[in-house]
Amino acid sequence: MCVCFIYLLCSGTRIKTRKRNIAAPLDPAAFADAVVQIYLDNAGDLELIAKNIESSDLNFSRYGDTFFEVAFTGGRTQPGTIKPDEGERHPYSIIECEAKREAILPSVIYIQKILRRRPFLIKNLENVMRKFLQSLELFEENERKKLAIFTALAFSQKLSGLPPETVFQPLLKDNLVAKGIVLSFVTDFFKEYLVENSLEDLISLLKRGKMDDNLLDIFPSAKRSAEGFSEHFTAFKLSRIIFTLYYVTFVHTFSKAGLVPLVEYNEKKIFEVKLKEMKSALTTQIAEESDISEVIETVKQRVKDAKLPDIEIVRILWDVIMDAVQWSGKNQQQNANSALRQVKTWAKLLNSFCTSGKLELELMYKVQMQCYEDAKLMKLFPEIVRNLYDQDVLAEDTILYWFRKGTNPKGRQTFVKALEPFVNWLEEAEEEE
C-alpha cells in the first residue's frame, strides 16, 4: 500500500478529497434590517415597498418568517415569542395601524402581491400567523382586534392558498379559551368577515377549518352552552344580516340585527346531533327487539330533554322501523311480508306519537316518499296504508284527506290509483254506518 502511495506522489497524480458542505451562517437580523429600510425609504407606501421588494435580491426562501414578522410587527421578534428583537423597526406595520378595515386592507393587498410573486412564502405566512395566534394573550386587546380584522380580510380577499385550519386550530388552546380571548377574537373575525360575505360563505370557511362542529369550544367553560352562544352573538350588531340561510323561521332576525344567523346555524347543528343520537338509540333498541313500552319511554324522554318537534319524531320512527326490515334480495313476496310484519310489530310505537291528524298525514307522506324512492316498496303502498289503518295508526279521515287533497306529487297518481279500492271500501262502509 505504501508503494502505491509513493508511486502516486512521484507520478504527480492529484488525490481528490471530498468537499464538505459548509452551511452559511444564518443572518435574519441583516435581512430584517434590509426590509425595514425599504419600508422607511418609501415612507410606508405599500405599493412602492412591494415593487422594491420584488426587485430586491433578498433571500426570501431562507428568511420568509422574518419577512412576515417585519410586516406584522415592524421588525424581528425574539425566537418563540412576540417580543421585539434588537434591530431597527418601522412604524408602518399591521400592529401599528388603526383597528379599522380601511387601514388594514392595504396590508392584505400588499401581502397578496408578494405571495403572487413568491408563492412559496405562504408556508412562512402560516408559520407566523400560527405563532401569533397561539400567543394572543401577549398582545394588547386592540392589537388582537387588528389581527382578527387582518385574518378576516385575508380570507375575504382569498389570500393565496391560506388554509383555514392554520388559523382556527391554533386558537383552541385551553388557556386562551378560558380567558375569553379566543371568543373575543373570533367575534371580531366573524363581524368583519360578514361585512362582504354571506353566512353561507362563513359556514363553508368554518367547515374547511374543521370548526363548524365545535363552535362552542371557543367559549369559556362557564358560558359553553346553546344559551350562552345565543346570548353572546345576538348582542353584536351587523346591519347587513337580516335573514338566515339555514332556518325557515325569521324570528329574532329582524328584531335583533346581530349575528343571529350564526346563532341559528349553531342551534341547527345541535338539533341535528340530538336527532342523530335519538335515531341511533332507537335503531339499537329495535334491532334488539326491546319491549315496545321501553322504546316508547326512551323516545318520550329524548323528546322532553331535547325539545324535539313531533313531526321529526314521526319521520325518524318510520325510518328506523323500515331500516330494520330484513330484505331478501329479489324475492318480492318475502320483502313484502317482512315489511308488513315490521309495520304490525311496531304499530303501537307509531300510534303513541301519531297523536293528531296532522302527524298521521305526515306519516302518510313519509310512506309515500319511501315507496316512491324504493323499488322494493313501490307496490306495497296500499298494503302498508291498510295495515296502518288496521292497527289504528291512521284514521279513516286522514286516508281520505290524503286521497282527495294530498299535496306531495311524488308518485301520487300511481299510489292514488292503487289505493282506490281501499278508499272505495272505506266510503261504502261509511255510507252503511
Provide the 3-class DSSP secondary structure of residue 84: strand
User: Would you state the cell numbers that stand for residue 6, as one nine-digit string?
Assistant: 509513493
Closest among 51, 139, 53 to 94, alpha carbons compared: 139
**Interatomic CA distance for residues 8 and 354, integer angstroms:** 103
Closest among 314, 344, 346, 340 to 327, alpha carbons compared: 340
User: Would you state the cell numbers that stand for residue 326, as one nine-digit string?
Assistant: 330484513
Closest among 355, 349, 354 to 297, alpha carbons compared: 349
Average pLDDT on 158-168 reads 80
Would the CA dihedral through 347, 348, 353, 358 be positive or negative? positive
Provide the 3-class DSSP secondary structure of residue 77: strand
**Interatomic CA distance for residues 3 and 154, integer angstroms:** 72
pLDDT digits (tens, 9 = 90+) for 253-289: 323 334 566 666 666 777 777 788 888 888 898 888 8
Place of cell 408578494: 114
User: Would you state the cell numbers that stand for residue 419, as one nine-digit string?
Assistant: 289505493
Q: Is 325's pLDDT higher than 70?
A: yes
**Interatomic CA distance for residues 300 and 75, integer angstroms:** 63
Average pLDDT on 153-170 reads 83
User: Would you state the cell numbers that stand for residue 57, as one nine-digit string?
Assistant: 435580491
Lowest mean pLDDT, pick from 22-31, 123-132, 269-278: 22-31
User: Would you state the cell numbers that stand for residue 314, as one nine-digit string?
Assistant: 314521526
Phi, psi of 240 (to 5 degrees): -80, -15
Mean pLDDT over each residue of the chain, to the nearest integer: 81
Q: Residue 433 has what pLDDT?
A: 61
Provide the 3-class DSSP secondary structure of residue 258: strand
Who wins on pLDDT, 255 or 202? Answer: 202
**Interatomic CA distance for residues 351 and 354, integer angstroms:** 5
Who wins on pLDDT, 366 or 244? Answer: 366
Q: Residue 19 has what pLDDT?
A: 40
Closest among 371, 430, 345 to 395, alpha carbons compared: 430
Place of cell 360578514: 194
Q: Is 237's pLDDT higher than 70?
A: no
Place of cell 401581502: 111
Q: Is 341's pLDDT higher than 70?
A: yes
Q: Are 339 and 384 in contact (CB under 8 A)?
A: yes
Q: Residue 103 has what pLDDT?
A: 93
pLDDT band at 28 (very low <50, low <70, confident <90, very high): confident
With vertex at residue 239, the alpha carbon angle to CA 238 and CA 245, rounded to the nearest 5 degrees, is 75
Q: Residue 360 has what pLDDT?
A: 94
Q: Is 56's pLDDT higher than 70?
A: yes
**Interatomic CA distance for residues 187 and 342, integer angstroms:** 50
Q: HSE on the CB side for 32, CA within 13 Å?
A: 24
- Distance between terminal CA atoms of the chain? 123
**Interatomic CA distance for residues 228 and 393, integer angstroms:** 41
